[in-house]
């Protein structure tokens, strides 16, 4: 009985150890970044079902009545590598992972419009966390919201 318990405990320890190792190796290689481009407006009432979880969060701070998913992009980037996401209104979002610090990935985000940098920021995004960057106007009454999440 004691033997079985010891074996189980050792196995458990091994799993935890392997888990941590695998996690560290992943952290050293690539960062998976998902970008959801959302059009928020007060022109109509529409909640895109593909955004169900996100809308609840957004509705707690914004007063828009419509949230529509315009596009969804996935980038898998190494440290220092840059990926582009095409946004409406001749805009481009440029994402570059700069490094990993603890459980956060340091990302540089740049929004360009017709090759002009209109906005750039460096953020430390929690693993499996997300940030919503908003503000650019789109169509008459709408604003673009970019929900950027990562995992590594």
129, 33 in Cβ contact below 8 A? no
13 binds another protein (CB under 8 A): no
* Contacts (CB under 8 A) with another protein, residues 55-114: 56-58, 60-63, 88-90, 102-104, 106, 111, 113-114
58/37 Cα distance (integer angstroms):
13
128 binds another protein (CB under 8 A): yes
Instruction: Return the residue of 23, 29, 82, 84 that touches another protein, per CB under 8 A.
Output: 23
**What does the DSSP assignment read for 65-118?**
SEEEEEEEEEEEEETT--EEEEETTTEEEEEEEEEEETTEEEEEEEEEETTEEE
Instruction: Return the residue of 69, 79, 83, 132 that touches another protein, per CB under 8 A.
Output: 132
Interaction site with another protein (CB under 8 A): 16, 19-20, 23, 45, 47, 52, 56-58, 60-63, 88-90, 102-104, 106, 111, 113-114, 116-140
């Amino acid at each position: 009985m004691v033997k079985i318990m010891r074996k189980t405990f050792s196995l458990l320890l091994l799993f935890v150890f392997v888990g941590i190792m695998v996690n560290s190796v992943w952290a050293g290689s690539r960062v998976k970044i998902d970008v959801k481009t959302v059009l928020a407006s007060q022109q109509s009432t529409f909640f895109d079902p593909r955004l169900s979880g996100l809308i609840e969060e957004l509705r707690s701070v914004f007063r828009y009545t419509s949230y529509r998913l315009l596009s969804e992009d996935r980038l898998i980037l190494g440290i220092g590598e840059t990926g582009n996401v095409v946004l409406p209104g001749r805009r481009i979002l440029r994402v570059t992972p700069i490094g990993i610090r603890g459980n956060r990935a340091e990302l540089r985000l740049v929004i360009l419009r017709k090759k002009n940098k209109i906005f750039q920021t460096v953020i430390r995004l929690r693993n499996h966390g997300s940030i919503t960057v908003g503000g650019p106007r789109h169509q008459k009454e709408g604003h673009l919201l970019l929900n950027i999440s990562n995992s590594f």
